[in-house]
Amino acid sequence: MGIHVWPRTRIIGIGHFSQLEEFFLHKSLRNTQHALFIASSSNETKGICMDGCDEGMKVYRRCLYCNSGTAGIEPWDMWHPSTGFLRGRHFFPEEYEDMMGHKIRVTAKSLFPFVEYILTSDVVGERVIPLDSLDVRMLNTIARILNFT
């Protein structure tokens, strides 16, 4: 069993900036919500500077929905030995604020007043036309707030 079955596990990687994509795009992190990478752009072979480092280190975060709704990498903060973290942002937010247009698939049984729709085809899995109903109203509101379609 791999780490991908525990999506809320917090993962922190430390290394050189050149290892950033390799770390975040590793298949074992495919379901991981909380992954950080602390990167140095130093030319030192170890790639980590703790004392006497003028440039500091950049902190990157795995974003599940930042590339038009797919996983990607986003700069999160900056750390310097003399000043600490620049932005002081929470590294592992528990809630999604923006799903960047991610497409969500919903499966529902027609059960008025909760869900009502018109079938466009007899083929299983085809799109339907949602009608005004309680669950459709809730989905529309949540989609507007979290930015998904």
**What's this model's pTM, rounded to 2 decimal places?**
0.59
**Residues recorded for the chain:** 149
State the Cα–Cα distance between residues 62 and 37, nearest whole angstrom: 8
State the Cα–Cα distance between residues 145 and 102, nearest whole angstrom: 13
Q: Are strands 57-67 and 34-40 parallel, antiparallel or unpaired?
A: antiparallel
State the Cα–Cα distance between residues 74 and 81, nearest whole angstrom: 22
**55-73 average pLDDT score:** 80
Average pLDDT over the chain, rounded to an integer: 79
**91-120 average pLDDT score:** 77
B/e letters for 14-40, b = 16+ CB within 10 Å, e = fewer, are ebbeeebeebbeeeebeebbbbbbbbb
| Distance in angstroms between the alpha carbons of the first and the last residue of the chain | 32
Q: What is the pLDDT, as a whole number, of residue 45? A: 43
Omega cis (within 30) before 93 = no
Q: What is the pLDDT, as a whole number, of residue 98? A: 66
Rg (CA), the chain: 21
